Amino acid sequence: MSSLKILLDEMYAGLKEYLETLGWTVFTVQDFGLGGAKDREVVEYARDHDLLLVTQDQKPAELADLLGVKHVYISNADVARVVDRGIREKYPDLDE
């Protein structure tokens, strides 16, 4: 597996165990005492420690873009598409 390390923003802390199961090295902002920290602090921490930030918030994603920090932004629209696809795949006979 890659040497890439992931930093989960607060709303995704519950994904840590799942991503670790998939073979990733994962940390949460809480692991580093950054719970409740300002967006820029979290993004700068990710930059300074060569971590890929996973967030659902647009502001840290935009700050990461500006600062050249590796990140994945998962919007509510992304989540909605995954839910929609899952429903359609699991229950193809349901009416829309």
User: pLDDT, tens digit, for every residue of 21-49?
Assistant: 999 999 999 999 999 999 999 999 999 99
Nearest to 69 by CA among 87, 88, 50, 86: 50
pLDDT value, residue 34: 96
Domain count, the chain: 1
Instruction: Assess if residue 95 is contained within a domain.
Output: no
Does residue 39 lie within any of the structural domains? yes
pLDDT of residue 31: 97
Whether 41 maps to a domain, the answer reads: yes
- The pTM of the full predicted model, rounded to 2 decimals, is 0.88
> How confident is the model over 51-74, as a mean pLDDT?
97
Q: Is the pLDDT of residue 12 over 60?
A: yes
Average pLDDT, the chain: 95
User: Taking residues 78-87, what's their average pLDDT?
Assistant: 95
Q: What is the 3-state secondary structure (H, E, C) of 7-51?
A: EECHHHHHHHHHHHHCCCEEEEHHHHCCCCCCHHHHHHHHHHCCE
Asked whether residue 71 is assigned to any structural domain, the reply reads yes
* Domain assignment of residue 78, given as a range: 5-90
